[in-house]
C-alpha cells in the first residue's frame, strides 16, 4: 500500500476514534441515568412510577428498532440544527449518540437488575435515601457488568461509525467505500477492515481487564454497615423499605 494511502488510513482511523470517543462519552452520560430510571420506576422499585416506566420502555424499544441508516436520514434536520451540517465526522456524532442511547439504557438496566435485591433491602432498611442506594449499592455492585456493557456499546459505535462513513460521515467507512470499493482497491478495503478489527479487540480487551479488576476488588471488599452508608438513619419500624423515601 502506497505511503499516501497509509497516511489516509491513519487519518481515517483518527476520525473514527474521534467519532466513537465523543459519542461514547455522551451516550454514557445519557444512557446511565436512563437505565437507572428504568429500574427504579419499575414495579417493586425504589420509586415506582408505572406510567413513566412504560413510557421510557416504549421509547427505548422504538429507538432500538430503527435501523441506523434509516435513523441517520430521519434525523437530518436535527443534525443540521445542532452542528450546522449533515456531512463529516462531527455531524455523524449526532445519529451515533441517538442510536446508542437506547441500547446503553437497556444494558444498564440489565446490569442493575443483576444486583442482589437483599443488598438494596438492607441499605433501605438502614435508612439510606434513594440517591445513596443508587450511588453506593446499585452502581458499585453492578460496575463489572456495566464496564462490559460499556465496551459492547463502544464496539457497536465502531460499527455504526463505519456505516456513517459510507454515507459521508468520514472515518474508516468513508475510506473503505471511496478508495476501496469504488476504485476496486482490495488492499484499501483490507486495511480498513484490519484497523476496525484492531480497534474492536483493543476495546474488548480493555473492558474485560477493567471488569475483572473490579470483580477482584469487590470480592476482597467486606463492607461494614456503619461505614458503607455514612449519614444513613435507621428506617422507622414498620416503614416500607421501598417507598416514601427521598
Give the model's pLDDT for residue 44: 84
Q: Is the dihedral angle over the CA atoms 117, 240, 33, 53 positive or is it negative?
A: positive
154 pLDDT band (50/70/90 cuts)?
Answer: very high
Which pLDDT tens digit goes with each residue over 104-137?
999 999 999 999 888 888 988 898 888 999 999 9
Q: Please compute the mean of the pLDDT values over residues 20-38 and round it to a whole number.
A: 95
User: How far apart (Å, rounded) are the C-alpha atoms in residues 43 and 56?
Assistant: 14
- What residues contact residue 18 under an 8 Å CB cut-off, 6+ apart? 89
220 pLDDT band (50/70/90 cuts)?
Answer: low
163 pLDDT band (50/70/90 cuts)?
Answer: confident
Q: Is the dihedral angle over the CA atoms 63, 66, 68, 69 positive or is it negative?
A: negative
Nearest by Cα to 42 from 24, 56, 23: 56
Give the model's pLDDT for residue 111: 93
Give the model's pLDDT for residue 244: 44
Query: Mean pLDDT across the chain, nearest whole number?
Result: 85
User: How far apart (Å, rounded) are the C-alpha atoms in residues 154 and 42?
Assistant: 27
Q: Please compute the mean of the pLDDT values over residues 198-214 and round it to a whole number.
A: 92
User: How far apart (Å, rounded) are the C-alpha atoms in residues 194 and 202?
Assistant: 12
User: How far apart (Å, rounded) are the C-alpha atoms in residues 73 and 54?
Assistant: 27
Burial pattern 224-246, b for ≥16 Cβ within 10 A else e, equals eeeebbeebeebeeeeebbeebe
47-51, 55-59, 157-161, 164-168: which has the minimum mean pLDDT? Answer: 164-168
Predicted structure pTM score: 0.84
Q: Please compute the mean of the pLDDT values over residues 194-206 and round it to a whole number.
A: 94
Residue-wise DSSP of 11-49: HHHHHHHHHHHHHHHHHHHHHHHHHHHHHHTSTTSTT--
Amino acid at each position: 500500500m502506497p505511503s499516501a494511502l497509509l497516511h489516509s488510513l491513519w487519518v481515517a482511523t483518527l476520525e473514527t476514534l474521534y467519532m466513537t470517543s465523543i459519542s461514547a462519552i455522551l451516550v454514557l452520560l445519557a444512557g446511565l441515568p436512563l437505565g437507572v430510571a428504568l429500574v427504579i420506576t419499575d414495579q417493586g422499585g425504589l420509586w415506582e412510577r408505572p406510567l413513566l416506566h412504560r413510557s421510557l420502555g416504549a421509547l427505548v424499544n422504538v429507538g432500538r428498532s430503527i435501523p441506523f441508516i434509516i435513523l441517520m436520514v430521519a434525523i437530518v434536520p436535527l443534525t443540521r440544527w445542532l452542528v450546522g451540517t449533515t456531512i463529516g465526522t462531527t455531524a455523524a456524532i449526532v445519529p451515533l449518540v441517538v442510536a446508542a442511547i437506547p441500547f446503553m439504557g437497556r444494558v444498564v438496566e440489565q446490569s442493575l437488575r443483576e444486583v442482589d435485591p437483599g443488598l438494596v433491602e438492607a441499605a433501605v432498611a438502614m435508612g439510606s435515601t434513594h440517591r445513596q442506594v443508587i450511588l453506593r449499592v446499585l452502581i458499585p455492585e453492578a460496575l463489572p457488568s456495566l464496564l462490559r456493557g460499556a465496551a459492547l456499546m463502544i464496539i457497536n459505535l465502531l460499527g455504526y461509525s463505519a456505516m456513517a462513513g459510507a454515507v459521508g460521515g468520514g472515518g474508516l467507512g468513508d475510506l473503505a467505500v471511496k478508495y476501496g470499493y469504488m476504485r476496486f482497491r482490495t488492499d484499501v478495503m483490507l486495511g480498513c477492515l484490519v484497523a476496525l478489527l484492531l480497534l474492536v479487540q483493543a476495546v474488548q480487551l480493555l473492558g474485560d481487564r477493567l471488569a475483572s479488576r473490579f470483580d477482584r476488588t469487590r470480592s476482597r471488599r467486606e463492607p461494614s454497615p456503619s461505614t458503607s452508608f455514612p449519614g444513613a438513619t435507621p428506617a422507622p419500624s414498620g416503614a416500607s423499605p421501598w417507598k416514601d423515601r427521598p
